[in-house]
Structure 1
């Protein structure tokens, strides 16, 4: 009887964890979109300069600043370069979040930027969504968690208490 309650508790835990997945993915996507817009706004003036003088090529603009005799431009080259790298990173993350749900989940869990994922995790508010996608994630996680723990328990039990075949002992 206790084993049944443990299974139910494990299933409920998996369900509650699973319903968080779509919410976290959505929070990550919104975070990326907001940071991307902010990065684009920060580069807007430099992009206009690059359009006017360097056919829109930001890398040529940065290189021009670096090769300038003026120490102010040299210093700005580093700042613009950092802004440009950040904007490109956020653009790649945004593109990844435009994929189907399973690619989004894989990206957030495995391939996503760790620092951005950590920022989202810090501000994430746990919620129980009753949307079909959240329910499906919850049930899937609950079943997988219950199956994995049950299989590990059975493996551990077979290693600790092996069953001996009575027929083999007779011979």
Structure 2
């Protein structure tokens, strides 16, 4: 009976871990959609400044930024810095989106896990919708996640059993009393 219960618990844990593992590719997809939305909005904002640069500086956005930053009024200097930051933000979003969309799956997954933007990830998590994607990458991720977690649990169980056995053996020696 205990063996059957252990098998049932293992199967339940595998299923739960598998479903959790399936969520990583789905979270990555929803994160990329949010990233695309931020990129689109940043482009929209920059296009407003680009229109001014087109009409006043023959399309040279950098000349517009320099004009703002060279102004003696602090408000204009800050606006110039804001435009420059917006250009950098767009470049960063473009680079992130490219890295998340191109290359093999493992590289995209590695990039996602190591280079995730915490602010975007938090916003994505707040709006996250559970899903069960049925593509090969998601299934492989789910299975890998489940197997790794079950192996870790099994390893911890073996270590825990050995510690208990060792502790109980040590206690037996102590409780026997002094040697005579």
Do the structures match in fold with TM over 0.5? Answer: yes
Equivalent position SS for 1:19: helix
For residues 46 and 5 of structure 1, the distance between their equivalents in structure 2, rounded to whole angstroms, comes to: 62
Alignment of 1:24-35 (within 5 A): 24-35=27-38
Matched, 1:95 2:98: yes
Alignment of 1:50-65 (within 5 A): 50=53, 53=57, 56=60, 58=62, 60-65=63-68
Aligned position for 2:112? 108
Does structure 1 retain, via aligned residues, the 8 Å contact 2:49–2:61? Answer: no
Aligned position for 1:157? 161
For residues 8 and 28 of structure 1, the distance between their equivalents in structure 2, rounded to whole angstroms, comes to: 30
Matched, 1:139 2:143: yes
Gaps spanning 5+ residues in structure 2: where?
170-180
Task: Give the length in aligned residue pairs.
Answer: 163
Matched, 1:8 2:7: no
Gaps spanning 5+ residues in structure 1: where?
165-171
Matched, 1:36 2:39: yes
Does structure 2 retain, via aligned residues, the 8 Å contact 1:63–1:77? Answer: yes
For residues 95 and 131 of structure 1, the distance between their equivalents in structure 2, rounded to whole angstroms, comes to: 21
For residues 101 and 47 of structure 1, the distance between their equivalents in structure 2, rounded to whole angstroms, comes to: 36
Q: Which structure would you say has the larger Rg? A: 2
Aligned position for 2:87? 84
Does structure 1 retain, via aligned residues, the 8 Å contact 2:25–2:141? Answer: yes
Normalised TM-score (structure 2): 0.77
Does structure 2 retain, via aligned residues, the 8 Å contact 1:48–1:56? Answer: no
Please provide the CA RMSD for this pair. 2.5
Does structure 2 retain, via aligned residues, the 8 Å contact 1:31–1:120? Answer: yes
Kindly indicate whether structure 1 or structure 2 has the higher relative contact order, using CA contacts under 8 Å at least 6 residues apart. Answer: 1
Instruction: Give, in angstroms, the shift of residue 123 of structure 1.
Output: 0.8
For residues 64 and 164 of structure 2, the distance between their equivalents in structure 1, rounded to whole angstroms, comes to: 68
Equivalent position SS for 1:125: coil
